[in-house]
Every structure is written in C-alpha cells, then in structure tokens.
C-alpha cells in the first residue's frame, strides 16, 4: 500500500498496542484488556507515522526542515475534541522539529502536549515520557527523540482508549495526518518536478478517515473543528484519486490539498474567542 521508500507495517494502532520502552531503562507498563481493545480501534486502517513520511521525503526532496518549524502554541480551550485534534497537530510538529534538529522546539512541543493531555485527564502516565523528550533533546539524540515522540503520542492514545475516549483517538490520528499532508504537499510543491508526490498518494486513507469522522456521534462529528478536518480529508481523497493528471493538474491538486489542510489546522489551533467588543480599527491577527 505504501511507496517503497516508506517503512511499512508500522501502524499507529501497533504503536498504541505495543508502546515503545522507556529509553532510560524502564519498561512501559503493560496495557490492560480495555486499553488493548481501544488500541485496535484503527487497526484496519494503516496510518503512516509522520516521522516515516518525513523520512521518505528526505530521500527524494531534501526539505529545508528548519523553515518548516512553527511555534508550539496550543489553543486555550476546554473543548475535548479540540484538545485531541491539537495534540495530533503538535505531535506532527514535533517530528518536523526533530527533522530540523531543533531541540528547544521539541521540548516546547512536548510541554504543550503534556498540558493538553492534562486537560483530557490523560497526563498522569506521561511524566517519564516528558523527561525523556527533554533529555534526548538536550543531548541531540535525534533518532531516539523521534521514537520517544511516537511513544508519547501512542501513550496518550492508549490512555484515551482506556478511558472510553476511543473517538478522541480518531481525532488525534486525523489531525496528525492533516498536518503531515499540509507539510508534505508544501515540500513537494516547492520542487518544480514535484518529487515526492507518490509518497502522499494515499486517497483510500484520506477517504476512510473522512468517512469515520462523518460517522462520529453528532456531539463530536458536528464540532466545527471536526467538520473542517473531515472536509479537508474529503478534498485530499478527491484530489489524490485523480487518474493520470498532467503535471499542471497535479500541481493544482496538491495546492488545493495544501490549502484545505492549512485552513483546517488554523481552525483547530485557534483559541476560544474572548467575548469582548473589539475596536472598530482592530485588525485580525494570524492564528499561528
């Protein structure tokens, strides 16, 4: 299913079910029955880890990752759906920071993820992960840092599943993929020959995620942020399904995907509006 340049067989579901060991010598705690049941929630859906996608891009595009790093700013929100989506976005931002070898940014992202996880009530078991992120960032252990970031995201999802919040796992996975798509399409579009386009040509994945989001209960599926993600994924599925497009058509399709994903991310990361009367001359500031 995946391009040859990408590692295969590693699913988020497997990461959730097996949880990578602590790199400081402590084994990750075994998952109980409920957590294991939750971990297979997306088992039939093969979702490449953002780190794998970026590794594949490195082999064909040589992106300037330092220019793709964005400030780690979590939204101020009590909306559980938004927090779950934002964790997915920031997790992918973490992989970008690792590729850029920006240790301080990885630490910032880890701190924001921990804060949002606390808002979801799933932060108790993450302290050791946070300490490991800091340690690896300080020592420049980039490969270990990437793996620990994957383990941190996996543990958040596993805890969500154990707390009967399996729908939130779908939100986190979908948002991570949206951010990955935005980044990957931007990288590909920066190359006139569109090298790397085949790496993200997974229309079935985008369509399945969009469909699963549409099947959520109304209290989640009707959330404007979830709707924005679902629409972006539907757009990606449509554009990636194009048969034998010309180079210009492919470029336009990728640009549409990029713009749709960027719009969804801005919606996800926007903090709740403060109910105050704005000055008539006040102008809107960018979200991120």
pLDDT in tens, the chain (288 residues): 333 333 333 333 333 332 222 222 333 333 344 433 333 334 445 577 778 889 899 999 889 999 999 887 889 888 999 999 999 999 899 999 999 999 899 889 888 888 888 888 776 556 566 667 777 788 788 888 778 777 777 777 777 666 666 788 889 889 999 999 999 999 999 988 999 999 889 899 999 999 999 999 999 999 999 999 999 999 999 999 999 999 999 999 999 999 999 999 999 999 866 444 444 333 333 334
Q: 70 in a domain, yes or no?
A: yes
The 10 Å CB-count burial string (b at 16+, else e) for 10-22 is: bbbbbbbbebbeb
Q: 120 in a domain, yes or no?
A: yes
User: Are the C-beta atoms of 213 and 233 separated by less than 8 Å?
Assistant: yes
Q: 175 in a domain, yes or no?
A: yes
124 is in which domain, residue-wise?
12-269
Taking alpha carbons only, the member of 45, 19, 32 closest to residue 163 is: 32
The residues near 206 (Cβ < 8 Å, ≥ 6 apart) are 177, 181, 233, 234, 236, 237, 240
State the maximum Cα–Cα separation within the chain, in Å, rounded to a whole number: 58
CA atoms within 13 A on the CB side of 19: 21
CB count within 10 Å of CB 8 equals 12
User: Are the C-beta atoms of 146 and 95 separated by less than 8 Å?
Assistant: yes
Find tokens 């101020």 and name the residue. 76
**Gap between the Cα atoms of 129 and 133, Å rounded:** 6
Find tokens 């108790």 and name the residue. 124
What total of structural domains would you count in the chain? 1
Q: 60 in a domain, yes or no?
A: yes
Taking alpha carbons only, the member of 69, 71, 87, 79 closest to residue 183 is: 69
pTM summary value? 0.75
Handedness of CA 166, 167, 172, 173 (dihedral sign): positive
Find tokens 């979702």 and name the residue. 47
Taking alpha carbons only, the member of 225, 221, 217, 208 closest to residue 47 is: 208
Q: 171 in a domain, yes or no?
A: yes
* C-alpha 58: how far from chain center: 18
User: Can you state the angle between helices 166-189 and 224-240, rounded to 10 degrees?
Assistant: 50
Per DSSP, helices labelled H in the chain are 12-18, 33-39, 50-60, 80-99, 103-119, 127-139, 142-162, 166-189, 203-214, 218-221, 224-240, 247-269
3 state SS of 107: helix
Q: 185 in a domain, yes or no?
A: yes
Q: 219 in a domain, yes or no?
A: yes
**Gap between the Cα atoms of 26 and 45, Å rounded:** 30
The residues near 259 (Cβ < 8 Å, ≥ 6 apart) are none
pLDDT, residue 225, reads 96
């Amino acid at each position: 299913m995946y391009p040859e340049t990408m590692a295969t067989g590693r699913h988020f579901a497997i990461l959730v079910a097996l949880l990578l060991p602590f790199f400081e010598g402590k084994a990750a705690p075994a998952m109980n029955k409920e957590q294991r049941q939750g971990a297979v929630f997306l088992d039939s859906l093969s979702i490449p880890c953002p780190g794998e996608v970026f590794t594949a891009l490195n082999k064909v595009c040589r992106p300037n990752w330092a220019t793709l790093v964005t400030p780690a700013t979590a939204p101020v929100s009590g909306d559980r759906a938004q927090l779950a989506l934002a964790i997915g976005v920031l997790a992918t931002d973490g992989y970008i920071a690792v590729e850029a070898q920006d240790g301080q940014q990885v630490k910032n992202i880890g701190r924001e993820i921990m804060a949002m996880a606390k808002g979801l009530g799933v932060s108790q078991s993450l302290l050791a992960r946070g300490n490991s992120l800091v340690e690896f960032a300080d020592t420049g252990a980039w490969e270990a840092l990437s793996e620990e970031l994957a383990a941190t995201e996996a543990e958040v999802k596993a805890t969500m599943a154990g707390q009967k919040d399996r729908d939130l796992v779908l939100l986190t996975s979908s948002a991570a993929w949206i951010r990955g798509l935005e980044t990957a399409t931007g990288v590909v579009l920066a190359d006139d020959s569109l090298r790397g386009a085949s790496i993200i040509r997974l229309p079935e994945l985008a369509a399945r995620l969009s469909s699963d989001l549409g099947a959520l209960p109304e209290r989640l599926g009707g959330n404007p942020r979830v709707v924005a993600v679902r629409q972006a994924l539907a757009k990606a599925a449509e554009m990636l399904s194009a048969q034998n497009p010309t180079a210009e058509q492919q470029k336009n399709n990728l640009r549409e995907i990029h713009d749709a994903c960027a719009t969804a991310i801005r919606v996800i990361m926007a903090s709740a509006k403060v109910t105050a009367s704005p000055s008539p001359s006040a102008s809107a500031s960018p979200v991120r």
